[in-house]
């Protein structure tokens, strides 16, 4: 998609459709809408008179314009309450318009970016705009018979209401936005794959292919090696499946000192989670092909990092396994010795994510990282607590927790800080082993985090439970339903901001 800055006057913008955000309760009696209305012989007012648009987010009105502008179509897009307008809104508007353009076979559009408070951050707005445009039309149609599909070819942005807009700033933001979107889309594609297509070995093959193509170091440990590494927890989860477990390690060295402590990012890579012997109910079991959403985010982030080349060292760690029941499955009541030496009593084979992460997090600590961030579709309890809108944010370090939370706000991804008091660790004490893999009846997402905390030692660590945010059940204006690539934007923002310090 061609994405670029346009500086022309309204009547001189050479695209097929002008795209104009409309705020709630706004009327074409002043400002941009009035100007546009005058230019187009009153068509804008007639749309308002016919109550075709109210400004609600996601709403659209489609109008053919009289001959007074180069563009012959106008798409009005609801932009919500003007009080809530920020650097994320133009991207949502653009994505909404793109859907309509694809349907109507309109090739080129230009969003008139508004700036009602005259305080818009041009760089972040452009970056989020680019990410939204590049991610909007990615659907779950990879395996559908292709009816001839139409994809728009260009989306421009024109800061009509802003005073100073530097081309270099906009161009840099577009370049970065494109790369981040490519990383997120790579993650979405992996997450969409059926469990039988993307098994651990195939997952590793794809991550290796991506790594080699982008100059990243790639290593993958097979079951033999995992045995010597004493990763009993990871191996136990894979024991019911014919597919062997894999531990992928991807390295990016951008810091001046290649031996400088890396940021470690770790992702849960359960390629299919049937629950194992504690088998899940049939209803939504198919969704568990996305139980490698955290791992996909790590892979997508490494791709973006390889292209952006920040001056920092990053190590991506992906434990991958398939959780199935069979005669060779691990069982409730089993005691596993994790690579760290801690023993774990298995209470529920469906609480498998924390087991594979136990070994992966321990491996991360052996790499002497400055911090560890893990992402996992870990608990249904997280979905109950926060739904699909926000991920749950846990940490053993207040400053890192704040840093990640702030990065997520700048990246336009939502999360919510959760407690992790020592008392929660009491809930995973076992009678027979050091800890057990299930807490009590309540606080499911928190006790899962408390379990992970046992494997990071003193290293500053953040855990994101992305069970709700990795997959959308319904379309949103800026994101089609299905896999979201949640986390790539935040991680990239976090890594780049660490380089600026």
Residues that bind ligand BES (CB under 6 A): 273, 288, 291, 348, 350-353, 377-381, 383, 438, 444, 467
Minimum gap (Å) between residue 323 Cβ and ligand BES: 7
- Interacting span for Zn ion (CB under 5 A) from 50-58, 140-148, 166-174, 285-293: 285-293
In angstroms, what is the minimal distance from the CB of 448 to ligand BES? 7
The residue (of 59 and 273) whose beta carbon lies closer to Zn ion is 273
Q: Which is nearer to ligand BES, 199 or 379 (CB)?
A: 379
In the complex, the smallest distance separating the C-beta of residue 350 from ligand BES, rounded to whole angstroms, is 4
Buried b (16+ CB within 10 A) or exposed e, 238-270: bbbbebbbbbbbbbbbbbeeeeeebbbbbbbbb
Strands 313-323, 263-267: pairing is parallel
Q: What does 348 bind: Zn ion, ligand BES, none (CB cut-off 5 to 8 Å by kind)?
A: ligand BES
Q: How far apart are CB 49 and ligand BES at their closest, in Å?
A: 46
Residue 67 burial (CB count, 10 A): 8
- Select 129 or 486, whichever has its Cβ closest to ligand BES: 486
| Least separation in angstroms between CB 214 and ligand BES | 29
Answer yes or no whether residue 350 interacts with Zn ion by CB under 5 A.
yes
Q: Which does 202 bind (CB under 5 to 8 A by kind): Zn ion, ligand BES, none?
A: none
Smallest distance, ligand BES to C-beta of residue 241, A: 15
Q: Which of 99, 289, 354, 489 is catalytic?
A: 354
* Number of helical H runs and strand E runs in the chain: 15, 20
383 binds, among ligand BES, Zn ion, none (CB under 5 to 8 A by kind): ligand BES
| Site stretch for Zn ion (CB under 5 A), options 62-70, 287-295, 364-372, 448-456 | 287-295
3-state secondary structure (DSSP) of residue 174: helix
Of 206, 280, 337, 342, catalytic: 280
Number of chain residues interacting with Zn ion (CB under 5 A): 6
DSSP state of 262: P
Q: Which residues of 392-418 are buried (b: 16+ CB within 10 A; e: fewer)?
A: bbbbbbeebbebbbebbebbbbebeeb
Considering only residues 305 to 324 of the shown chain, the ones binding Zn ion according to CB under 5 A are: none
Of the candidate residues 195, 353, 468, 477, the single one contacting Zn ion (CB under 5 A): 353
Please identify, using beta-carbon distances, which residue of 37 and 352 lies nearer to ligand BES: 352
Could you write out the three-class secondary structure of 267-333?
ECEEEEECCCCCCCCCCCHHHHHHCCHHHHHHHHHHHHHHHHCCCCEEEEEEEEEEECCCCCCCCCC
Q: Quick one: residue 62, left, alpha or beta (phi over 0 = left, psi -120 to 50 = alpha)?
A: beta
Alpha-carbon separation of residue 265 from 31, 261, 299, 401, 501 (angstroms): 47, 13, 10, 14, 20
Q: Which stretch binds Zn ion (CB under 5 A): 85-93, 97-105, 306-314, 353-361?
A: 353-361
Count, residues in the chain = 501
Residue nearest to ligand BES (CB): 380
* 257 neighbors 184 (Cβ within 8 angstroms): no
Give yes or no for residue 269 binding Zn ion (CB under 5 A). Answer: no
- Are the CB atoms for 418 and 447 separated by under 8 Å? no
Q: How far is the CB of 437 from ligand BES (least distance, A)?
A: 8
Identify the helix (H) or strand (E) that includes residue 233. Answer: helix 232-238
Least distance (Å) from ligand BES to the CB of residue 267? Answer: 13
Our finding on whether 454 is near Zn ion (CB under 5 A) is: no
| Residues ≥6 apart with Cβ < 8 Å to 465 | 376, 377, 378, 379, 382, 391, 392, 394, 445, 448, 449
The smaller minimum CB distance to ligand BES, of residues 180 and 338, is found at: 338
Neighbours of 432 (CB within 10 A): 9
Nearer to ligand BES, 198 or 467 (CB): 467
Could you confirm whether 354 is annotated as catalytic? yes
Question: Between 106 and 356, whose beta carbon lies closer to Zn ion?
Answer: 356
Q: Taking CB within 5 to 8 Å according to partner kind, which of Zn ion, ligand BES, none is near residue 58?
A: none
Quick check: 291 binds Zn ion (CB under 5 A)? Answer: yes
User: 193 contacts which partner out of Zn ion, ligand BES, none, CB within 5 to 8 A by kind?
Assistant: none
Spell out a b/e string for 14-33, using b for 16 or more CB atoms within 10 Å of the CB, else e.
Answer: ebbbbbbbbbbebbbeeebb
Spatial contact of 314 and 242, defined as CB atoms under 8 Å apart = no
User: Phi and psi for 272 in degrees, rounded to 5?
Assistant: -155, 130
Q: Which is nearer to Zn ion, 44 or 237 (CB)?
A: 237
Catalytic (active-site) positions: 280, 354
Interface residues with Zn ion (CB under 5 A)?
A: 270, 273, 291, 350, 352-353
């Amino acid at each position: 998609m061609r994405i670029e800055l346009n500086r022309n006057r309204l009547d001189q913008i050479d695209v097929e459709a002008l795209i104009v955000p409309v705020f709630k309760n706004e009327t074409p009696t002043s400002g941009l809408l009035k100007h546009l209305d005058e230019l187009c012989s009153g068509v804008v007012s007639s749309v308002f008179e016919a109550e075709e648009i109210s400004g609600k987010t996601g709403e659209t009105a489609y109008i053919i314009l009289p001959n007074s502008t180069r563009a012959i179509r106008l798409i009005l897009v609801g932009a919500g309450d003007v009080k809530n307008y920020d650097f994320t809104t133009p991207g949502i508007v653009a994505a909404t318009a793109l859907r309509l353009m694809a349907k109507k076979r309109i090739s080129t559009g230009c969003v008139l970016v508004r700036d009602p408070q005259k305080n818009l951050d041009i760089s972040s707005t452009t970056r989020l705009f680019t990410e939204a445009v590049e991610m909007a039309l990615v659907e779950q149609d990879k395996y559908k018979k292709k009816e001839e599909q139409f994809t728009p070819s260009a989306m421009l942005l024109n800061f009509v209401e802003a005073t100073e807009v530097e081309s270099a700033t906009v161009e840099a933001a577009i370049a970065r936005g494109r790369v981040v979107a490519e990383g997120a889309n790579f993650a979405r594609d992996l997450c969409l794959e059926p469990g039988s297509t993307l098994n651990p070995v195939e997952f590793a093959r794809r991550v290796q292919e991506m790594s080699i193509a982008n100059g990243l170091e790639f290593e993958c440990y097979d079951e033999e090696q995992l045995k010597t590494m004493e990763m009993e927890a990871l191996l136990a989860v894979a024991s019911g499946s014919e597919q062997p477990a894999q531990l992928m390690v991807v390295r990016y060295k951008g810091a001046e000192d290649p031996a400088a402590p890396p940021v470690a990012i770790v992702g849960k890579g359960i390629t299919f989670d049937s629950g194992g012997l504690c088998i899940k109910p049939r209803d939504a079991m198919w969704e568990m092909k996305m139980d490698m959403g955290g791992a996909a985010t790590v892979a997508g982030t490494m791709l973006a990092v390889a292209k952006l080349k920040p001056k920092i060292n990053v190590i991506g760690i992906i434990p991958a396994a398939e959780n199935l029941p069979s005669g060779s499955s691990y069982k409730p009541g089993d005691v596993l010795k994790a690579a760290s030496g801690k023993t774990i009593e298995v209470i529920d084979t469906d609480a498998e994510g924390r087991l594979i992460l136990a070994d992966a997090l321990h491996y991360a600590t052996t790499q002497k990282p400055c911090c560890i961030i893990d992402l996992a579709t870990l608990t249904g309890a997280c979905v109950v607590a926060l739904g699909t809108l926000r991920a749950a944010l846990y940490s053993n370090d207040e400053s890192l927790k704040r840093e990640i939370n702030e990065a997520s706000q700048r990246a336009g991804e939502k999360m919510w800080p959760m407690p992790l008091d020592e008392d929660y660790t009491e809930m995973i004490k076992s009678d027979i082993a050091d800890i057990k893999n299930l807490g009590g009846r309540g606080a499911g997402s928190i006790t899962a985090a408390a379990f992970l905390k046992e494997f990071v030692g003193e290293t500053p660590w953040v855990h994101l439970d992305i069970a709700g945010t990795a997959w959308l059940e319904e379309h949103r204006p800026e994101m089609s339903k299905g896999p979201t690539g949640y986390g790539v934007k935040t991680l990239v923002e976090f890594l780049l901001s660490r380089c600026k310090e």
